[in-house]
Structure 1
Amino acid sequence: MKSQIAIVTGILLSFNAAADEEWIFGIGAGVTSYESAYKGVSTETTVFPSLYAQKGNFLLVGNKAQYTLYGNSKFQVNLLGQYRFEGYEADDSYMLHGMEERDGALEAGVSATFDTHYGILSASFVTDISDTHEGHELSVGWAKPYQLNAKWMVKPSLELNWRSDDLNNYYYGVKLNEATAQRAVYKAGSSTTYRTGVDAFYIVDKQQTIQMGIGVKGWGSEIEDSPIVDRSNSPEVKAAYTFRF
């Protein structure tokens, strides 16, 4: 069951991954709708590919990939890579006119997961390897998959993230050459953010899974105080379909 839970929930762990020596692939599509933290940006709806790949100690789910360095039935240590989908273009909002574009970033680090009676505990550290924001992030999380019946599974989760000043300042700071009468120079410091939510999974059959989820991100004072931000939190909803072969 643990291997199936890892596949259908998108949790980046698979406690018996070493036994899976054949490639397993999954592909599909999803849609997410969320409230942007940036001023003047309305609700954003994005269509994204739903990707899954696994072989041996390697696992790819969406924008995150891991390679297990050590693992048993309860504990794993992994190398981690991910792409950060964060940032904006100047024409996304009237309040961002004159700002330089902020790009997504490729990050790498390490993670660990521990399967307990109370849920799956996780910790990770990633740093920018693409020279984009030149910052880093430390995260701790909890998730607990509940198998309701043969078809339905739900997974509540909570994650806390400590973001470095370089990371925050790249995405939410305002440089001197970007300042206007309505947008003061701003240098963001480090902060703690959170995300909490519930995902539901409908297992159509051994190959097909439908995922639905709701959640909210809380940004923390260093991000909230930015002159280009007008939200303390951002609700989001999502749905995705994946076919494994």
Structure 2
Amino acid sequence: MRKTMLLLPLLGVAAAGVQAEENESSFALGIGVASEDSIYKGVGTETEALPFFSYENGSFYIQGPEAGYYIIDNDDFKIGALARYRTDGYKASDSSDLKGMDERKGAFELGITASYDTDYGEWSATFAADASSEHEGNEIELGWEKSFPVSAKWSVTPEASVSYRSDDLNNYYYGVKASEATVNRAAYTADADTVYEIGISAMYQIDQQQMIRVGASYTSYGDEIADSSIVEDDKSTSVSLLYMYRF
């Protein structure tokens, strides 16, 4: 099964270890292991190894499934355009409870993002919409994170986000069409709703080139998602471990 929440914890704070100075480039490769409790019925906990890739050159960046360019790139304030691949979705073979469901695929999205770094943390806002005609929806996300140095090598970063997902997006991934309904799976149409997430990570800088990051997050889904006949829980947790090498 494709996973968004397993990928994202590997990207956010990990990028802090590979930030490029102005007019300089930075390139990093890594491997991570992540485990998440799926909210889909019958799927359970999924664990897999995930590659990590990061590249930055001035105002341009690539981090995992997202690439972007900052149109405004000041020390504290940034506005940019982004392209990303949403890794949500499932196959009918992922669970006996999903048998007979059409495959829900990932989606290529385009959007805009802005961030503002303050003494109280970095605040961000992102809007992204489907450009591949898969879910044909959009998402608005507001986020916050702040890194606290613990020692010369250790830092801890709490983070939180809230996202508003459109009805088209939710219905594609959590809706059940009439043709997919069974005696044990009612037809369902999902409306727009909100998803909340909190997390914390710790980063250990081995040396100038190497780092290790561990993270954990908790996600809460709104009723429009949780009430679906293919969803068994309104919350999920995930943990991740990442090793990264900077060239």
What TM-score do the two structures reach when normalised by structure 1? 0.92
> Are residues 205 and 7 of structure 1, via their aligned partners in 2, closer, same or farther at CA, if it must alter by over 3 Å?
farther
- Percent of paired sites with the same residue: 44
**Structure 1 unaligned regions, length at least 5:** 1-5
Report the 3-state secondary structure (helix = DSSP H, G, I; strand = E; otherwise coil) of the residue aligned with 1:48.
Answer: strand
Please list, as runs of the form range in 1=range in 2, the aligned pairs for 1:18-57 lying within 5 A after superposition. Answer: 19-21=22-24, 23-57=25-59
What does residue 154 of structure 1 align with?
156
Which of the residues 165, 175, 178 maps onto 2:177? 175
Please list, as runs of the form range in 1=range in 2, the aligned pairs for 1:68-87 lying within 5 A after superposition. Answer: 68-87=70-89
Which amino acid letter does the alignment assign opposite residue 76 of structure 1? K
Which of the residues 64, 67, 91 maps onto 1:65? 67
Mapped to 2, the partners of 1:101 and 1:63 lie a distance apart of 21
Which amino acid letter does the alignment assign opposite residue 94 of structure 1? S
Report the 3-state secondary structure (helix = DSSP H, G, I; strand = E; otherwise coil) of the residue aligned with 2:170.
Answer: helix
Mapped to 2, the partners of 1:116 and 1:187 lie a distance apart of 41
Report the 3-state secondary structure (helix = DSSP H, G, I; strand = E; otherwise coil) of the residue aligned with 2:41.
Answer: coil
Q: Aligned residues, how many? A: 237
Deviation by residue 1:158-202 (Cα, 9 ceiling, x = unmatched): 000000000000000000110001111100000000111001111
Which amino acid letter does the alignment assign opposite residue 92 of structure 2? A
What does residue 9 of structure 1 align with?
14
> Are residues 99 and 34 of structure 1, via their aligned partners in 2, closer, same or farther at CA, if it must alter by over 3 Å?
same
Q: How far apart are 1:78 and its partner, in Å?
A: 0.9
**Structure 2 unaligned regions, length at least 5:** 1-10
Which amino acid letter does the alignment assign opposite residue 155 of structure 1? T
Report the 3-state secondary structure (helix = DSSP H, G, I; strand = E; otherwise coil) of the residue aligned with 1:222.
Answer: helix
Residue 191 in 1 paired to residue 193 in 2? yes
What TM-score do the two structures reach when normalised by structure 2? 0.92
What does residue 88 of structure 1 align with?
90
Backbone CA RMSD of aligned residues = 1.8
What does residue 231 of structure 1 align with?
233
